[in-house]
Amino acid sequence: MKLGFKNFYILILLNTLIILSGCTETELIVHTAKKVQSDIITASPKGKGVYKVGKPYQIFGKWYYPAEELDYSETGIASWYGPKFHGKLTANGELFDQNLITAAHRTLPMPSAVRITNLENGRALNIRVNDRGPFARGRIIDVSRRGAQLLGFERKGTTKVKVEFLSKESRNLKIEALNNKIMKGNQPKINPSPRLTVVSKSVNSKEITNSLSKDVLDNIKTRKKYSAPPLSKTVNVLPVIPSEIYVQTGTFSKLQYALRMRDKVYKIGPTQISRHTIGGNELFRVRIGPMDNIDAADKTLLQLAKSGVVDARLVVE
């Protein structure tokens, strides 16, 4: 079977990544994956961002399914990105500015708004999502350098966070992006009408408004440029609630499958099986932990990947 150039390129990258470990592996995955996903997803004019949900896409063998999740809420690990991508295109065609408050998410619409709370210091901030990522193991969102500074984890590099979708703010950003895209579009060419004798007559504006149909008035209104209210840049400090990091190796519908997974991974760390009922269905989760810190959790993820458990992920509770 012949491999295309892009597939061959990705295959070489994968072979390289297998050799690497720890922080070096994570950093290379982040930067390389962003380059690959940018080639796949970005297709808008330079610097002119558009509203985009996007089709399912694949990065390094894993599929992601973008969607408008109005009730999205997730806890996990956040990272940040900046200098190497400053001035380059984001996944919806904007120019990335590391000094603005923006973020990259793997599946949420672009642009949209989320509330990110740093679970380690209580800082909470509204952030605009306009990019795809992160693609390193165990990360749920990638914020700009400025976002990391305001949330208080720029020097540390990563932190435990809660990410919540802001429906009202996201809707305003969507309307703005869609409306302005229509305004910037090329207007259709219309053939000139034949010359007619015109008799002028003075009328007041109220008579004109009353004579227009509702459809015409609605069309005029929708053609006005819409600007979404700016997101609040205020950093709120909330009470810090103790949280712990686990490595979840799988969720199973039958206990026997969970037991098999436990037997496969128990030597890597303290393993537990928990039973849950979701939507009337009984599920069994297998987790390793709690972990002492994010570095320990990252090392466990890497060790699991090398042992064949590639779908393991970090969970913050």
Summary mean pLDDT of the chain: 82
pLDDT in tens, 237-294: 999 999 999 999 999 999 999 999 999 999 999 999 999 998 889 999 999 999 999 9
Distance between CA 161 and CA 125 in Å, rounded?
11
Single pTM value for the model: 0.75
pLDDT in tens, 193-209: 566 665 666 656 555 55
DSSP code, position 250: E
pLDDT in tens, 281-311: 999 999 999 999 999 999 999 999 999 998 9
Mark out the alpha helices in the chain (DSSP H runs). Answer: 5-19, 22-41, 145-151, 167-184, 205-211, 214-222, 255-265, 294-306
Residue 43: other Cβ atoms inside 10 A: 12
- Helix 5-19 to helix 22-41 angle (10° resolution) is 160
Distance between CA 247 and CA 315 in Å, rounded?
6
Q: Name the burial class of residue 144, with classes exposed (0-12), middle (13-18) and buried (19+) by CB atoms within 10 angstroms of its CB.
A: buried
- Tell me the HSE value of 255 on the side-chain side, using a 13 A CA sphere: 5
Q: Please report the domains of the chain, with CATH numbers, ordered by start residue.
A: 5-169 (2.40.40.10), 245-316 (3.30.70.1070)
